[in-house]
Structure formats: structure tokens, C-alpha cells
């Protein structure tokens, strides 16, 4: 595990342990970047803005992004192995979602960039000769990219690709829990001959470490972050003094609505997937489901049976996160009903030293209970009944978060009525996590600021400038 600064690899800094969440073993060490190295990374990125990178055309940058995508594909199995080792997620998930999506991120933004056009206007003037106005989009400058531990490569490349596409330079900091795929990406960047200083990578924690030093750095022009809402608030305060633009995808306590006219089997299967993919450690996962009362018992019974039958799921990412999730489960068990799970699976092998929690279905808790209101970010879902459409919307829209929601219904009119009324950035109807990379993605309220995806990302990472020419 190494930093990558100014086109060279560096292992300086005090090491911290890298732990395998599946078994709880220390499997390696990661260097924590000293402040001096963070300064060097920002300086290298700023120097690159004034170097040959400034003269690269959009077509040149698009070709570079495709070379990076090619490099990830050539080392596909290495990336899968690193993703699984760091996160504990099943190989099937990493090989079909995380690594292919990283490749797609670079290709999608390369293709979007190639087809992007700017606008121009002819303007009347008193002398009749007119003027021509046109826009030019310019990079923001040095962008700090801070990515989380749950989808390490997917979310890192989701920001790095559009930042590079629009001509910025990047200093990236992955989560200290999951640095493996970021290190491989740095190697791919070097192999793809990304110009010196255009992409830099530093490792370390947040407070009083690389994360804080990077977000507070006066040489950083913009910050793109995915993670907890509280951390987003801290970063926003750090950026406020210099008015640096921020793009935040933050937490969620996502709701699902199941109406009596839904295909019950489809709704159960979809909710199992939306609640327990990556053991619930996805910002889009469903943590609270509201079910029309006439089908509540049938839905709850089937969902609980499905949760008990799940296999092949992964652990929590760390001992601390496991303990956080177990804390919520202990409170819930004391105050409500545990329909499935709630404990720790036993394997009778070295996995018993890992950070596991059973897929858990809860019911009977009041809406102000911490397990219903606060983000758990684990394999836990709470069920509650509703009687009317209006009540369902009020329940779904309550609380501080607004990232995503699901609606399960067989009534097309209801689907088009309910989905837009949800206070979220994304609403899925009779599906979950079906994504088109051109569409806007992000949250409202405590779930984020701004939108990522397609032109929305390209717009964030570039500044429009107007040029007016008198004819």
C-alpha cells in the first residue's frame, strides 16, 4: 500500500493496520500520509494545471479515460480480489457490480465529453453590427476526492472520471479501511501515462490526518465527498472560508412503500435485495418499509423467511461498525419485535473472528425509535403498517434524510402520483438500484448537496465562462 504523488509512489508516514473483516485478522499495513506529503500532493496537482495537461483537448482527455478503463479491465481479477479483501463483500457482487461499474464510469464520461457542445448567442447592438456571445467551460482546478469504504472503487472513479474529463487535477483519499483498489488504480494511472501530478493518492484518516488537511488546504479548489452526513457538515465548514464548491452524497434512511395492489412476490424479492445487498452497507439500501395493512402480515412473514434463508452475505467492514449495528439491534430487541436475525452467525471456522451480523427484520417500533429514525448502515430493516396513501407518504418523508425510496404497486396512476411526491433524489417503482449513468443522482435534506451523473457531474467539475465579442 503506497501513496502516489507527483507521478511517483511513496510509502512515507506512520503505518496503521489493515484488517480483514471476514476473519478479523490484521493482513497488512497502510502508511498514513504526513501533512508534508499532503502538501506535496496538492502542489503537484496545481503544477500539473499549468503544465502540458492544460493544453489537452477534450478528445485527448477522452482517449486517456478509455486507456484507464482498459487498464482496469486488464487487471480485472486483481481489482476484484482487492475489493473483496478490503470490504468482505462476496466475489459475485464485486465482479458483477463494483469493478465493471468502475470501468463504465471512465468510458461513460469519455463518451459524454466527446459529444458535449457549448452554446452561443447572436446579440443585437444599437449600431446594428451585433455581438457574439459564447460559453467556454473551464476546470475548477485542484479537486479533493474523498471516497467511502462501502463501494471503494465504484465511488472513487465516479468522481475521478468526470473530474479528469473536464480538465481538473485530483488528489484522492480513499477510506483508511479500504485502500486496496485505490492503490491499484494509481498503478493503472501510471501505466496509462496520465501526466505527472494529474492524479495523486494519499492515505490516512479524517480528523487530524490526511482527510482534514486536504479539505482545509488553501490549494484545493473544490471537494467531492461521499460519506456520513456529519462528516459532510465538517467538510463544508472547512470549505466555507475559501468558498470552495462542494459535491456531497451523504447518508440515507431510505423508505420502501408496499401497496396492497403490488405483486407481493416481486415486492418481497425486491425488498430483500434492497435491504441486504452488501449486508445493507450501501447508501441506497432500504432500512424502513411501510406496508399497506391488509397485506402487512403476509409481506412480513415472507420477508422474514427470505431473510432467514439468505446465504453468501458478507461481514460488517470493521469491528467498530459491527458494534454500532449490534447496539441498534440490542435497543430494538428490547423495544420491539425481531422477526428474523438479530444475532451473529456462527461458522465454526476462522470466520467466527470476523465482523458478522445476521440479516435482520424488525417490527413494532415507534417512529421516533433510534433504529427507525437513524441510519444504521447494516443488514437491518424495520416494517410498519399504513392505512392510506397519504399516511404512507407522510411516514416515508419524515426524518432528516432524503436519498432514495422504492414504491411497489400495480397501479400505474398511483406510481406516477406517489413517486414524485417523495422527498428524495431518486425514487424507484417496482425495482431497486436500476441506474443509468446519464441521470442525476444525489439526495435532499441531510442526504447531500448537488447531483452526480452525466452532464450533472461535468457541470459541477467545470465553470462556465461567457465570452462576448463585438462584431
- Which residues are catalytic, by number? 249, 283
The dihedral built from the CA positions of residue 231, 158, 422 and 285, taken in this order, carries a sign that is: negative
The dihedral built from the CA positions of residue 256, 262, 268 and 274, taken in this order, carries a sign that is: negative
Q: Are 21 and 315 in contact (CB under 8 A)?
A: yes
CA distances from 247 to 229, 250, 293, 436, 469 (A): 12, 10, 40, 19, 33
For the chain, what is the largest distance between any 2 Cα atoms, rounded to a whole number of angstroms? 87
Q: In what order do the strands lie in the sheet with 254-258?
A: 337-340, 360-363, 380-386, 286-292, 254-258, 404-408, 426-429
By C-alpha distance, which of 74, 73, 93 is closest to 83? 93
Contact residues for 318 (Cβ-Cβ < 8 A; gap 6+): 19, 21, 177, 355
Q: Which three cell numbers stand for residue 33?
A: 500520509
* In the block, residue with C-alpha cell 467539475: 461
d(CA 131, CA 121): 8
Contact residues for 256 (Cβ-Cβ < 8 A; gap 6+): 271, 274, 286, 288, 289, 290, 405, 406, 407, 408
Amino acid at each position: 500500500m503506497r501513496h502516489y504523488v507527483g507521478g511517483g509512489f511513496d510509502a512515507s508516514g506512520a503505518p496503521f493496520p489493515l484488517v480483514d473483516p471476514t476473519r478479523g485478522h490484521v493482513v497488512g499495513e497502510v502508511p498514513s500520509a504526513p501533512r508534508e506529503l499532503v502538501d506535496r500532493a496538492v502542489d503537484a496537482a496545481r503544477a500539473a494545471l499549468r503544465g502540458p495537461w492544460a493544453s489537452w483537448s477534450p478528445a485527448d482527455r477522452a482517449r486517456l479515460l478509455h486507456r484507464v478503463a482498459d487498464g482496469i479491465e486488464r487487471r480485472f481479477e486483481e481489482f476484484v480480489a482487492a475489493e473483496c479483501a478490503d470490504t468482505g463483500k462476496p466475489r459475485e457482487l464485486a465482479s458483477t457490480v463494483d469493478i465493471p461499474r468502475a470501468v463504465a464510469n471512465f468510458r461513460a464520461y469519455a463518451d459524454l465529453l466527446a459529444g458535449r457542445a457549448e452554446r452561443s448567442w447572436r446579440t443585437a447592438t444599437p449600431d446594428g453590427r451585433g455581438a457574439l456571445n459564447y460559453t467556454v467551460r473551464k476546470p475548477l482546478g485542484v479537486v479533493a476526492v474523498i471516497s467511502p469504504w462501502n463501494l471503494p472503487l465504484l465511488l472513487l472513479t465516479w468522481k475521478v472520471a468526470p473530474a479528469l474529463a473536464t480538465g481538473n487535477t485530483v488528489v484522492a483519499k480513499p477510506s483508511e479501511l479500504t485502500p486496496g483498489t485505490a492503490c491499484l488504480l494509481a498503478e493503472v494511472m501510471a501505466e496509462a501515462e496520465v501526466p505527472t501530478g494529474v492524479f495523486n493518492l494519499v492515505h490516512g484518516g479524517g480528523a487530524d490526518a490526511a482527510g482534514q488537511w486536504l479539505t482545509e488546504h488553501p490549494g484545493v479548489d473544490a471537494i467531492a465527498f461521499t460519506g456520513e452526513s456529519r462528516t459532510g457538515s465538517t467538510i463544508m465548514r472547512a470549505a466555507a472560508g475559501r468558498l470552495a464548491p462542494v459535491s456531497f452524497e451523504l447518508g440515507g434512511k431510505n423508505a420502501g412503500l408496499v401497496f396492497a395492489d403490488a405483486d407481493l412476490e416481486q415486492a418481497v424479492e425486491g425488498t430483500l435485495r434492497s435491504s441486504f445487498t452488501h449486508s445493507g452497507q450501501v447508501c441506497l439500501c432500504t432500512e424502513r418499509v411501510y406496508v399497506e395493512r391488509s397485506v402487512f402480515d403476509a409481506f412480513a412473514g415472507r420477508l422474514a423467511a427470505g431473510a432467514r434463508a439468505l446465504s453468501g452475505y458478507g461481514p460488517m467492514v470493521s469491528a467498530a461498525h459491527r458494534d454500532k449495528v449490534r447496539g441498534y439491534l440490542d435497543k430494538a430487541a428490547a423495544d420491539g419485535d425481531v422477526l428474523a436475525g438479530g444475532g451473529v452467525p456462527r461458522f465454526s471456522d476462522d470466520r467466527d473472528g470476523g465482523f458478522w451480523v445476521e440479516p435482520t427484520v424488525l417490527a413494532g417500533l415507534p417512529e421516533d425509535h433510534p433504529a427507525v429514525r437513524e441510519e444504521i448502515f447494516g443488514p437491518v430493516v424495520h416494517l410498519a403498517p399504513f392505512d392510506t396513501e397519504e399516511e404512507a407518504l407522510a411516514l416515508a418523508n419524515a426524518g432528516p434524510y432524503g436519498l432514495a425510496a422504492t414504491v411497489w404497486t400495480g397501479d400505474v396512476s398511483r406510481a406516477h402520483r406517489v413517486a414524485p411526491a417523495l422527498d428524495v433524489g431518486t425514487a424507484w417503482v417496482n425495482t431497486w438500484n436500476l441506474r443509468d449513468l446519464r441521470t442525476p443522482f444525489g439526495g435532499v435534506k441531510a442526504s447531500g448537496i448537488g447531483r452526480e451523473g452525466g452532464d450533472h457531474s461535468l457541470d459541477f467539475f467545470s465553470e462556465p465562462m461567457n465570452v462576448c465579442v463585438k462584431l
